[in-house]
Amino acid sequence: MNINDFRFDGSKPFKVNEFNTKQEGNFKKRSEAEDLRDNHINDLQGLQEKLYAEGKEGVLIIFQAMDAAGKDGSVKYVMSGVNPAGVSVHNFKVPSSEELAHDYLWRAMKVAPQRGMITIFNRSYYEDVLVVKVHNLHKKTSLPERVLTDDIFNDRYEQIKNYEKHLHENGFRIIKIFLNISKQEQKKQFLQRIDDPSKNWKFSDGDIVERGYWDKYMHAYEDAINATATKDCPWYVVPSDKKWFARALIAEIVVSTLESINPQYPEVSEERKLKLKEFRDILMSEE
């Protein structure tokens, strides 16, 4: 599995109609993908500990997707590999009145990662160029006339690109993941949520309404990804009809990004080593 096949960094266009959401890679059987995923989860534990100990770079993982594509499961799964003390998760819901009273990046900036930490965004400021674009929600807010031009979303793409560049240049890595499912697979997942009483809570009336805007959403995703994919802050489009494949690919993307950071435990100076030896002697001299 080569993550570069799924990486969009501005050097090739992402075309939603040409993307196969059912891909399974070269795995001969599902258990091979699950083994790879489990190995990566083990690697992730060690890498995260070093990232935390070193405290130089921070990592932001953004998950965007249509409903039922597996965002929640993906978040849970990445979390399973790491020490909770070094990770935080933030869900981006319909903005509150306080959030709407600020610029749209404000709520994300408040919870951006610290050095040494992994921060996961379940949805993100990309909603402001996705759901907001699909439903023209910006026109219902208190934005001044001068801002409400036809260029508003092109302007936002630039603002997002600049914000992500700023984070990258200040020592943070950003992994942007679009879990891409087909409309057919979403229908299957929705039916499961309706038919299985233990999954009823996952289904909300609005899910059917949003499904009706499928094509508009796909265009919005395509535009947003192409406009904000850069070498330093690329998008990964993860085929998500087969969840086991999506999970293995996500694991590979996260681990390879952490490996590229190559975090190290802080070096211990000679002076500190002598001090530690002194402490050791004190402990050993106790009865």
**Binding site residues, ligand ATP, CB under 6 A:** 67, 71-72, 92-95, 122-123, 127-128, 131-132, 137, 204
CA atoms of 95 and 10, how far apart (whole Å) = 30
Q: What is the phi/psi pair of residue 157, to 5°?
A: -60, -45
CB 57 within 8 A of CB 261: yes
Q: Which residue is nearest to ligand ATP (CB)?
A: 127
Report the residue number, 125 or 172, with the smaller CB distance to ligand ATP: 125
Least separation in angstroms between residue 97's CB and ligand ATP is 12
Q: What is the phi/psi pair of residue 107, to 5°?
A: -70, -25
CB 123 within 8 A of CB 91: yes
Q: Which two tokens stand for residue 85?
A: 């003390």
Describe the strand order of the beta sheet including 87-91 as a list of residue ranges: 7-8, 235-239, 172-180, 58-65, 118-122, 87-91
Least separation in angstroms between residue 107's CB and ligand ATP is 8
Least separation in angstroms between residue 92's CB and ligand ATP is 5
Least separation in angstroms between residue 32's CB and ligand ATP is 29
CA atoms of 112 and 146, how far apart (whole Å) = 29
Closest to 225 measured CA to CA, from 74, 70, 62: 62
Report the residue number, 93 or 280, with the smaller CB distance to ligand ATP: 93
Least separation in angstroms between residue 96's CB and ligand ATP is 10
Report the residue number, 137 or 227, with the smaller CB distance to ligand ATP: 137
Report the residue number, 47 or 132, with the smaller CB distance to ligand ATP: 132
Report the residue number, 122 or 182, with the smaller CB distance to ligand ATP: 122
